Structure 1
Amino acid sequence: MTPRRILLVSPAFHGYWAALAAALEHDGHEVTAHCYDRGDTHRDRWRNALAHRSIGASQRERNRAEVTQRAITVLRETRPDVVLVVKGDALNDGWWEALASQDVPTVLWLYDELERLSYTLDQLKTIGPVLSYSPNDVARLRDAGIDASLLPDGFDSLTAFTPRQSPAVNLVGARYRERERIVRMLVSHGIELEAYGREWSNHPWDLLRTGRKRDPASVGLREVSRTDYYGVMAGSLATLNIHGDGHDGLSMRTFEAPGVGGLQLIDRPSVADFYEPGVETLLYDTDAELVDLIQRAARDTAWSNRIRAAGKARTLAEHTLIHRMREVTRKWD
């Protein structure tokens, strides 16, 4: 493996850019990280926030042009050997033209489905190797003649955390319809549950920024940092990993929950591609099955601890972000 000067261009989303940079640096690479959606000033951050809301098309394009120009400036100043772009659809064509003009080998990693991104297939044909967490999208890209490979999410094994002991089942993430249904169902069965995130919280600021009304029956808590929710998953009775409809890729939580030694309850049979259900993770199909698994975890800690230990060992052996970044760097070999 050849050490390289890598420019990582990524959204700021939950600090995963830092985890990816650390994973690359772990293997001896020199990394410059640029978060294209995180400005240096309050004005920049406010503008980026507006870009995700109902603003006019012309303002959206101006914002995109400014974001792109900042990324191009970093590219020219750092003169990297290679570039890893994560998601990157907030950058306009000028970014990809700048990369092409400097002849910098580039890999694009998509952690969201194509239908949620602004790329066209014709555009992706010109970018270079494309990695995606979505098996369906990889098949679609390959059918279109694009150099595409599956790159699943992974666990940040380099971040330290402190377990938060709790008898509750936890859920960390956005408030999708299926997640809300499951939460209410479990509460109705008398199961103690904690849901973390701005869309669950009754805090006045969270209600204001999400446009929700106060929910008197909410079990929600405020958003926590990635380090903190690692601790939550490690110390709770179990962790819910509810994908619901609309996503075929497996989320970061799929690898993070077992990675921290948590007991994962997941709704995706495709988890069997990475973990052995019933041995390294828990797969459920129906509400009744989910309730039964939670109740067993509460009364049979020897059983649940065996699954926790096996899931953690499998994750550290195969599914860390260090493993994933090695797959990326092989694209440049």
Structure 2
Amino acid sequence: MGERVLVVGPAFHGYSESLATALRVLDHEVATHPYDLYATVGDKLRNKVRYELPERLGRPEGDRRRRQDLTVRAIAALRAARPDAVVVIRGDLLGADFWQTAEALKARTVLWLYDELRRMEHDPETLRRVDTLITYSPLDAESLRASGVETHCIANAFDDTYEIRPEPVESFLFVGARYPNRQRAVERLVAADVPVLAVGRDWSHHLFDRLRTWQLARPDVPARRDVSRSEAYNLMAGALGSLNIHTDQDGFTMRTFETGGAGGLQLIDRPDVSEFYDPGTEVAVFTSEEEMVELARRAVADRSWARKIGEAARRRTLAEHTFVRRARKLEQVWG
């Protein structure tokens, strides 16, 4: 039998649940705490009024209240679980009291970062005090090691416990947040008469999504509201292909491995994806919008080419890039 593990992390990405499932496969007893989950309508309304509205008005108390409340809830989960090890995903909203409580309970602490440090608000002391620090960012790992902080680099992954049921979609798919460079790329495909479907609250034309994102304007792009992770996988499997557009990240997004795991064609803007997949046979790499359009048009015209790449990507993903494989690496480094 393995150890008692508490996985603490954001609710939205599903990363925590996937890691917890993988650790259970490896025979650990695992509990989870999604620290920013607002499950009920009342919770969601409270989040808007207590936290987000003050921030929108330029007042700092919203962020301060959020951090205090989330820390208190996470400490309660920690005390209830009394784990041998606590694995915190991202965790920059948790205060020092949380880490002090973990130490008092003699739990080994692991902090796993799936974003670059410059986009988080971690106290440098926290990075030094945790027993095991993991990042998906090779550049952050190099920088942290240079400053004397032992750091391990582990990439994102695909959760292969989901059953894939392809949902036919005669469009190119983009699932994710609407950043300016992503919007430009999606609109470029639309302008080139390539069928596109953008998925997520930032793209949705539904009034509720406009209100909860505090953005009434939306690009003129076919869109769908948020979908579950399982539904996203099914869409990736059934679409003509999926766009994976990074911002200024040096780590690879979850979508890199999820699209391949679902067996879909992936158009990606990072030639260095060759660390994980073979460009041309397992993914399609573009370095300009013109190349992106050309590849998308080829996929529309040559379905067998797109299908062949997706099938090869799925084989590679299941062999090398599942959460269970990442969890085995975690076991090796957490001491």
Instruction: Place the TM-score, normalised by the shorter chain, in its bin.
Output: over 0.9
Where does residue 6 of structure 1 map in the other structure?
5
Does the 8 A contact of 2:51 with 2:65 survive in 1?
no
Q: Give per-residue Cα distances to partners, 1:244-291, cap 9 Å, x unaligned.
A: 3x2111100000001000000000122111001001111101122111
Q: CA deviation at 1:105?
A: 1.0
Amino acid at match of 1:276: D
Trace 1:1-333 onto structure 2 (pairs within 5 A). 3-38=2-37, 43-49=42-48, 50-51=50-51, 54-55=54-55, 56-215=59-218, 217-244=220-247, 246-333=248-335
Q: CA deviation at 1:59?
A: 4.5
Aligned length: 331
Q: CA deviation at 1:102?
A: 2.2
* Unmatched runs of 5 consecutive residues or more in structure 1: none
- CA RMSD after TM alignment: 1.8
Question: Percent sequence identity over matched residues?
Answer: 41
| Structure 1 SS opposite 2:307 | helix
Q: CA deviation at 1:190?
A: 0.8
Large movers: runs of 4+ above 6 Å: none
CA distance in 2, matches of 1:176, 1:89: 22
Does the 8 A contact of 1:131 with 1:151 survive in 2?
yes
Does the 8 A contact of 1:121 with 1:141 survive in 2?
no
Report the TM-score when normalising by structure 2.
0.93
Does the 8 A contact of 2:114 with 2:135 survive in 1?
yes
Does the 8 A contact of 1:179 with 1:242 survive in 2?
yes
Q: 1:176 to 1:152 in 2, by over 3 A?
A: same
Amino acid at match of 1:51: Y
Amino acid at match of 2:294: D
CA distance in 1, matches of 2:276, 2:163: 24
Deviates more, 1:21-30 or 1:203-212: 203-212
Report the TM-score when normalising by structure 1.
0.93
Does the 8 A contact of 2:190 with 2:221 survive in 1?
no
Deviates more, 1:17-26 or 1:47-56: 47-56
CA distance in 2, matches of 1:136, 1:216: 33
Q: CA deviation at 1:299?
A: 2.1
Q: 1:161 to 1:51 in 2, by over 3 A?
A: farther
Q: Give per-residue Cα distances to partners, 1:100-155, cap 9 Å, x unaligned.
A: 22221111101111111111333311122111111111111111111111111100
Amino acid at match of 2:142: A
CA distance in 1, matches of 2:250, 2:116: 8
Does the 8 A contact of 1:164 with 1:235 survive in 2?
yes
